[in-house]
Structure 1
Amino acid sequence: MDSTNRTVVVTGIGATTPLGGDSASTWKGLIEGRSGVSLLEGERFAELPVRIAASAAVDPSEVLPRPLARKLDRSAQFALIAAREAWADAGYTGPAGTVAEDASDAAPEIDPGRLGTVIASGIGGVTTLLDQYDVLKEKGVRKVSPHTVPMLMPNSPSANVSLEVGAQAGAHTPVSACASGAEAIGYAIEMIRSGRADVVVAGGTEAAIHPLPIAAFGNMMAMSKNNDDPQGASRPFDVDRNGFVLGEGAGVIVLESAEHAARRGARVYCEALGQGISSDSHHITQPEPTGRGIAQALRHLVATADVKPAEIVHINAHATSTPQGDIGEIKALRSVFGDDVDHMALSATKSMTGHLLGGAGGVETVATVLALHHRLAPPTINVDNLDPEADADVVRGTARELPEGAAVAVNNSFGFGGHNVVLAFATR
C-alpha cells in the first residue's frame, strides 16, 4: 500500500479532567451534564477578580509516586496519567521493545523506531517557572530545584511520555495556544499516514491554574467573573456568556495504522480521517468575527480527509463561551456546510470542563471519539437563552442519541494567534 494512503485508527483513550480521573468518569460526567467548575480556595486567589476554575477531579499526587511526581511539572503529571491509561486501553502492557509473558504469537512486538509521541501544551510548565521564581526570591539560589528546567520545558510532557512507552520515532510538541492539543493529534495522524510511524501516542495537557495566568486572562476581559455561580459561569452560545473558565487536565489517544492494529487484533474505536488547518492573520488574541479562517480549515478538512458533510452527525465545538468567538464558529460552519449543519448535533463540552487551553483539543478529541463509539452526543449546559445568532442544532439539557450507520464527527480547536485546527473521525 502507498504509505500516503494509510488508514489511521484510534485504539486507546485516556484522560484526567475536572470531571474525573480517567476517561470513563470524564465521559460519565459529560453525559450527565455535570459541571467541574468550583470556587478557588486559598489566600493567593482571594484578591483576584476571577476566583473560579475547573480544577482536576483527581489530583496527580493521588496517582503518581511522590519521587516521580516531584520531578514533573503538573502539566507533565496529567499527560503521563492520561497516556498510561490510553496505552493500557490500547492493549499494550509495557514499553516498546518488550513483549508481555502472556503475549500471543499474533501480537507483534512494537518496534521502538516505529513508535512516536506528540503531546502538546499551550503554556508548558508555567506553574514550575512561577513557583521556582518565588523560591529564588524568598529562599535563595541554593533552594531552586535542579529539576526546574526539564520540568518547565514545553516539550517535557511529550518527552516523559516517550520515555514511558519507549518511543523512538519522534517526541514532538506543537505549540499553538488553545489549538495545541488538536494540532498534536493531527500531526500524529500525518506521522502514521506518511509511513514514519506505526503507532503514535498523542494529545494535549495543561496546568495553568495559578494567580498570574488568571490575573492576566482576567485583565484581558477573556474570562468569566461570575464568581457567585461557578457552575453556571461557562455558558457557550447563551446570550449572557461573558468569557471562558480556566480548566486543567489532559486527554490522550493512541493512533495506529489500521494494518498494525489488525495484525495484533486490537479493538478499534474509530477511524481518524485527518485534519484541516489554517490561520486567521487577523489579531493576536481576538477571533476573526466572520469565521473566515475557521471556514478555510473546514474546507481543507473536506478536501483532504474524505469528509462528506452529509455524513457529519456530530461536532464538538471549540465554543469557549466568549461573545465573539462562539458566533464566529457557527458562521464558519454555515458558510462551509450550509443546510447540512441542521443535522449535525453540536456539543460544547467546555460548559462542563472549562477551557483546558492546550489540553482542550486532547480532552475534546477523547469526547468526540467516545461520542461516535457510544452514539451519544454530550449536552451543552447553562444555555438558558440560546443566542439567536447561534444558528445550529446545539445539544442542550440532556445527551442525545446519534444515528446508526456510517457517521463522521468533527472536533474544532482554535487558539490565540489565529490558529485553527479541525479533526475528523469516522465509523463506517
Structure 2
Amino acid sequence: MKRVVITGMGVVAPNAIGLDAFADAIKRGVSGIRFDPQLADLGFSCQIAGKPDVGEALALQYFSELELRNFNANGILYGVIAGLDAWQDAGLPLTPDTVDYDSGTIFGSGTSGIDKFRESIYKIDDGQARRLGSTAVAQTMNSGVSAYLGGKLGLGNQVTTNSSACTTGTESILMAFERIRSGKAKRMLAGSTSDSGPYIWAGFDAMKVCTFKHNDQPEKGSRPMSESASGFVPGSGAGALLLEEMESALARDAKIYGEILGGNINSGGQRAGGSMTAPNPDAVKKCIADAVVDAGISPADIDTINGHLTATAKDGLEIQNWSEALGRRGADFPYVNSLKSMVGHCLSGAGSIESVATVLQLHHGFVFPNINCEDLHPEIVSIVDKSRIPMYFIENTVKIAAKASFGFGDVNACVIFGAWNGAAPR
C-alpha cells in the first residue's frame, strides 16, 4: 500500500482566492458572506450568499479570450482556477503537448453550467438551437470541470467527476487517495466545485433550510453551533489538493503539506432516522470510527475536527455523533471548527474547500476560529467544553485532523489528515 502525501493546493472561496490569501483570511476569521441584490430582486427569503469574486482579469490567467467567449459556467471556472493553482503549487509543469499517464483527476461537481443551461433552453425554445455554440455541451455536462482540467494538464490517468451532494469534495479526495494507494496512479488532482447563483440556491430557499434573519447583517448570518442559528447561508467555490505517491514526491524534492492517513465512505441507506435530507446517526458514527481504523490511529490521537456543521438544527446531533464515535467529550474533545461560519455552505464544493483549510492548519500549526457562535447551543455545550470550540486564532501544533462531510441522500465521508513527519515508517 503506497503512502499518499499532499504536495499542492488551490482554493477559490467566498472570503479569498489563492492559498496565501485564504490562509490569512481563515486565521483572522474573515467572512465572505455578502448581501446579494439578485436574490432580493427575485424574492428569496435568504438574500445573502457566499460567492467568490472572480473577475475577467483573473479568468484570463487560466482561459484564453476565445475560451471565455460565450463562457457561462461559474462552477467550471472556479474548479479550473483551483485545480491549476494546486498543480502549479506542487511544482509540476503544464504539459499541453504531452500525455501524462501517471496523473489524473477526480474533480467533483453537483451541477455544471446551470446559467449556460438556462441560456440554451431559451435559445432552443426560440428555435435558435444552431446558435448554442460549440462549447454548450462541455459547459453543461457534469464532468465538464474534470474534462477541462484533463485537457489543460494533459492528464492520461483517470479523469472523472464524482457527485454526492455535500459529500462530493471529501469523497473525491478519498477516491483519489485510494487510486494512488493501490498503485494505479502516481498523482491525482482531487477536489470539487459548486456553481453559484439563484438557479442553484432556489431549491434550498424553498425548503426553508436557509437563514432569512440576517439579510441586514450578512457577515453574522452563518452561525454553526450557535443557539441563534436559523439555517445555512448558500455559498459556492472550489478547492483542490494535489495528492501524490510519497516516493514520487520525495524523488522530485516536492514541498509536502501533509499526509492522508486513511478514511472511509459509507451510506446510512436512509434507514434508522436517515432520509434524503437527514443523516442516519449510526452510519455517521460508523463512518468516523472506520476512518480512524483505516488510518491506523487511535481516537485519542485526533487533535482537531473540521465538521460538516451547517448552522441548522442538526449541528447538535453531529457533535453528539463525533463524541460517541471517538469516545471523547468535555475538555477531552478535540478542537472543532466549521469553515462555514466564514464562507457559508458551498454545497458540492464544501468538502474540498474545507479540506484545504484543514490541511493548512496542519502545515502551519494553528487552529482557525469559529465566528458567530458566541451563544453556543446548549446541546453542544452539554457535550463539549467551550474551550474546545475556539473563537479566536490559536497557534498550536496540530498533528492529526479529521474532516467529514454528510450529504443529501444520507451519504458520508471522513478523511484523516496527518502532519508531515518525514518518510520514516508510521
In the superposition, the TM-score normalised over structure 2's length comes to: 0.90
The residue number in structure 2 matching 1:275 is 263
What is the CA-CA distance between 1:114 and the residue it aligns to?
A: 1.2
1:69 aligns with 2:61: no
The counterpart of 2:393, out of the listed 388, 392, 399, is: 399
The answer on whether the counterparts of 2:362 and 2:397 sit within 8 Å (CA) in structure 1 is no
**Which of 20, 26, 31 is the matching residue for 2:22?**
26
SS at match of 1:177: coil
Q: Does 1:194 align with 2:186?
A: no
**Partner in structure 2 of residue 14 of structure 1:** 10
User: Can you list the C-alpha shifts for 1:203-230, whole angstroms capped at 9, x where unaligned?
Assistant: 01011322x3322111111111131221
SS at match of 2:310: coil
1:327 maps to which of 316, 323, 333: 316
Give the superposed CA RMSD: 2.0
Q: Deviation digits for residues 314-334 of structure 1, max 9, x if unmatched?
A: 11111111112x122111111
The residue that corresponds to 1:237 in the other structure is 225
CA distance in 1, matches of 2:56, 2:310: 25
Question: Could you tell me which residue of structure 2 aligns to residue 375 of structure 1?
Answer: 365
Moved over 4 A (4+): none
| Aligned-pair CA distance for 1:194 | 0.7
Per the alignment, residue 309 of structure 1 pairs with 299
The corresponding residue for 1:224 is 211
Could you tell me which residue of structure 2 aligns to residue 55 of structure 1?
Answer: 51
Does the Cα contact within 8 Å between 2:39 and 2:48 map onto a contact in 1? no
Measure the CA separation in 1 of the matches of 2:200 and 2:255.
40
**How big is each residue's C-alpha offset from its partner over 1:332-377, in whole Å with a ceiling of 9 and x where there is no partner?**
1111112267241111010101111111111011001101011111
Distance apart, 1:142 and its partner CA: 3.9
Q: Which residue of 287, 292, 298 maps to 2:282?
A: 292
1:204-258, Cα deviation, whole Å (9 max, x unpaired): 1011322x33221111111111312211111001011111111111100100000
1:184 is displaced (CA, Å) by: 0.5
Q: Are the counterparts in 2 of residues 301 and 307 from structure 1 also a CA contact under 8 Å?
A: no
Alpha-carbon contact 2:16-2:52 (below 8 Å) kept: yes
What percentage of aligned pairs have identical amino acids? 31
* Partners of 1:36 and 1:57 within 8 A in 2: no
The match for 1:247 is 235
Q: Counterparts of 2:7 and 2:39 in 1: how far apart (Å)?
A: 44
For the 8 Å contact 1:178–1:359, the answer to whether it is kept is yes
Q: Following the alignment from structure 2 to structure 1, what is the Cα–Cα distance between the partners of residues 133 and 211? A: 35
User: What SS is found at the alignment partner of 1:197?
Assistant: coil
SS in 1 for 2:46: coil
Q: Tell me whether 416-425 or 124-133 shows the greater mean CA deviation.
A: 124-133
Q: CA contact under 8 A between 1:50 and 1:215: conserved in structure 2? A: no
What is the number of equivalent residue pairs in this alignment? 407
Q: Deviations over 1:247-278 (max 9, x none)?
A: 11110010000000011111111111122112
Kept in 2, the 8 Å contact 1:6–1:192? The answer is yes
Residue 422 of structure 1 deviates from its aligned partner by 0.6
2:404: which partner in 1? 412
C-alpha displacement of 1:199: 0.5
For structure 2, the residue ranges without an aligned partner over 5 or more in a row are 422-426
Report the secondary structure of 2:413's partner residue: strand
Cα distance in 2, alignment partners of residues 39 and 153 from structure 1: 30
Deviation per CA, 1:181-215, whole angstroms, max 9, x where unpaired?
111110000010011000011101011322x3322
Query: Structure 1: where are the runs of 5+ without partners?
Result: 99-110
Q: Does 1:346 align with 2:325?
A: no
Alignment check: 8 A CA contact 1:224 1:243 kept: yes
How much does 1:284 deviate?
4.4
Q: In the alignment, is the contact (CA less than 8 A) between 2:169 and 2:350 conserved in 1?
A: yes
Do the aligned partners of 1:346 and 1:392 also contact (CA within 8 Å) in 2? Answer: no
| 1:206-221 equivalence runs, <5 A | 206-210=194-198, 212-221=199-208
2:104 corresponds to: 116
CA–CA separation in structure 2 for the residues paired with 1:426 and 1:86: 19
* Change in 2 beyond 3 A, CA 1:399/1:261: same
